[in-house]
Structure 1
Amino acid sequence: MKITDWAIIFVLIVGPFLRALSLYSTDLQEVNRLQIRYTTALRTAVQDAGNVLNRNELQQFEMGYDSNKYMRADKELALSVLLQSLAINFGIAEDSLAQAAFMKYIPAIVVIDYDGYWIYALDEFSSANGEPRLEHRWHPKKPYVYTDGSRNSVDFTLDSYIRVISSTTGEEVRGLLEDLAPVTAVPLLQDAEVFDQVRRSTIVRQIEEDLQQVIAVHNEFTARLGFTYTFTLPTIPQEEWNNTLDDVGIIAFLQGIPVGNHYYNNFALGGGRLRKAERIEGGVDPATGIRYYYFPKCELPYNTEEVFARKREAAARGYYEAICRP
């Protein structure tokens, strides 16, 4: 056979594989584009919501707390801003039916307040006429409660202000850790470092346990709708939790949106005292293959692959800081 014949046979055999590979590559690019778009929309919405959480900058307007971290988290306004921002960025701001359908992709929203937290999620209850209903609404606020081996009860906050109830006397005292430690016999209060570790772990454990429960309810609801995706609680890195527990904040989960053959699954955190930060993009230099992070205003010729809220997040993912010349 002539070499041209072999070439034709080669093209006939390999051609379909090359075509399939090209289509797969195109699909991956579209999936990557959608993931970046959804992540940007989610983080923008959470940042917008975090910016409106604080409704009382002047601490002296609040009674009962001797702490400069105390602030009233306006959960209703934060929720409204969050959902409105998501609707705008997903192109459904003028479609109330689409907005209602979009809620099946939001298994939970958490507002972390100074002395407790709310979860906005599906809840089953009876209507005024006694009929069972299932819809998204705020679950009752829960305090950050810890009980030690001797049954002493400690209500934590986002700093060292606490309420302690003695198991032996039933006496209740409130105040800062440094003020109560010398006058109470509760072992937890005697070591400030251990106290902070227990405080943080208690808050995280409570929130995660409640999230597991509401996500299970969400799975039951979406299964009735024929939804095959299984919602799960993503692993939130300890560093993210530590940043969140420094001030009031909000956490939103967005899951189950189809992207190619996969599903979008992510969360975002926003703080009530944080300024709205410009997003950070992570991209690859097509000439060298090196990954860099940068602000969008830099207008660098890199292929954007991911977006981040903080520089350290990008660095942890293997990106180097680019030299920006806006």
Structure 2
Amino acid sequence: MKITNLVIIFVVVLIPFLYMNTNKVNTQRLTSELEIRYNGAVDTAVRDAAKSLKININQNKEAQYESRKKVNVNVSEGITSFWHTMFLNFDAQNDKVTQGVLKQYVPAIVFIGYDGYYLYTIDKYKNPDSQTESKHLLQPKKPYAYVDQFNNSLSFTLDDFVTAYDSSSKTWHYGKRAEIALDCPTIPLLQDAEAFERIRKSTIVNSLQGDLQYYINYYNEHAKRYGIAYTFTLPTINQEEWNNTIDDVGVLAFVQGMPMGNTTYNHYAFGGSRLIKRSTIKAAIEKRTGLKYYFKDTCANIFTKNEYEVQETYGSEKEAAEAGYHPLSCINPALIIKK
């Protein structure tokens, strides 16, 4: 057989494989682009919802001096803002059918308040005709409650303020842990700052996880009735992310099972309400060297546009560092901070 014939046969055999490989690569690329778009839409919706939590008609419910985290959250505004941004980003602001479909892929939203949290998820209710229906409903506020081995009851907050019931004296106490510890010697947890902080965080996280697991499992029953074959589950969230989530008032939303090419879209997003103004971190590239640096926005005027080109804005130095940027000193721009 001539060499040319062998080459022709080889090319004929190879072409289908090349086509399938190219098609697979293109599909993966399109899926990745779609995932980035969806992530942006969900993240933006959560951030907008978190910002809306601080909208209060009653000024007396705004943040009080005793705690920077003590804020009355406006959950109804948060819900309205979340759906408004979701529908806008998915081009469904005027399409009730698409809106209904989108809602089926949101098994739960958590609104984290100062002294308790609200779950917004599918639940049954009676319509005006006394018929049972299911839709997203806001569950009653649940406190961050804890009972120790001596039947002492504590209601935690997002900081060290606590409401404690002393079972031995049958009295209630409210205030910072260190302040009421002297009045409650029979409540061991109030006497140990480190143990108090550890139990406080674990109580809040465990309560959130337990309720989310319950309602997401319940949501699977609802989803089957609407022809959604996907099994909704509580995603694995590491301890550091949970601790960051419960550090301040905010919103945690889950979007799962949405068709995306040959796979399904699964994402969860957290947004803080930004009730306390914090310095943001500017990430920039030095034009002369191409090196990546970050600095606080409060000293951004030190770095002229001729020398640095801002690329990103981060909420913390850790985020900027993880993205490959190096710190710059605001006092001396030429000095790289050594850690």
TM-score class, shorter: 0.7 to 0.9
Q: CA deviation at 1:223?
A: 1.0
Q: CA deviation at 1:138?
A: 0.1
Partner of residue 254, structure 2: 253
Percent same amino acid among aligned pairs?
Answer: 40
Q: Which runs of 5+ in 1 are unaligned?
A: 282-291, 301-306
Residue 198 of structure 2 is aligned to residue 197 of structure 1: yes
Q: Considering only aligned residues, what root-mean-square deviation do their CA atoms show, in Å?
A: 3.2
Per-residue Cα deviation, 1:204-241 (whole angstroms, up to 9, x for no partner): 11011000111111111111122111111112222222
**Quick check: 2:115–2:143 contact (8 Å CA) kept in 1?**
yes
Structure having greater relative contact order (Cα 8 Å, sep ≥ 6) = 1
> Partners of 2:61 and 2:259 in 1: how far apart?
47
Tell me the SS of whatever aligns to 2:174.
strand
> Partners of 1:45 and 1:277 in 2: how far apart?
22
Rate the CA distance shift 1:231–1:207 in 2: closer, same or farther, 3 A. same
Deviates more, 1:84-93 or 1:59-68: 59-68
Per-residue Cα deviation, 1:37-83 (whole angstroms, up to 9, x for no partner): 00011111111111121136999656999433211111111111111
Rate the CA distance shift 1:253–1:278 in 2: closer, same or farther, 3 A. farther
**Quick check: 2:63–2:71 contact (8 Å CA) kept in 1?**
no
Residue 151 of structure 2 is aligned to residue 151 of structure 1: yes
**Quick check: 1:145–1:202 contact (8 Å CA) kept in 2?**
yes
Tell me the SS of whatever aligns to 2:70.
coil
Partner of residue 88, structure 1: 88
> Partners of 1:59 and 1:240 in 2: how far apart?
32
> Partners of 2:253 and 2:204 in 1: how far apart?
17
TM-score by length of 1: 0.84
**Quick check: 1:161–1:176 contact (8 Å CA) kept in 2?**
yes
**Quick check: 1:66–1:175 contact (8 Å CA) kept in 2?**
no
Rate the CA distance shift 1:109–1:308 in 2: closer, same or farther, 3 A. farther
Letter in 2 for 1:246: D
Rate the CA distance shift 1:313–1:104 in 2: closer, same or farther, 3 A. farther
Rate the CA distance shift 1:121–1:42 in 2: closer, same or farther, 3 A. same
Return the match for 1:321 from 321, 325, 334: 325
Partner of residue 303, structure 1: none
TM-score by length of 2: 0.81
Partner of residue 214, structure 1: 215
Partner of residue 170, structure 1: 170
Partner of residue 244, structure 1: 245
> Partners of 2:4 and 2:310 in 1: how far apart?
47
Tell me the SS of whatever aligns to 1:105.
coil
**Quick check: 1:47–1:276 contact (8 Å CA) kept in 2?**
no
Q: CA deviation at 1:188?
A: 0.6
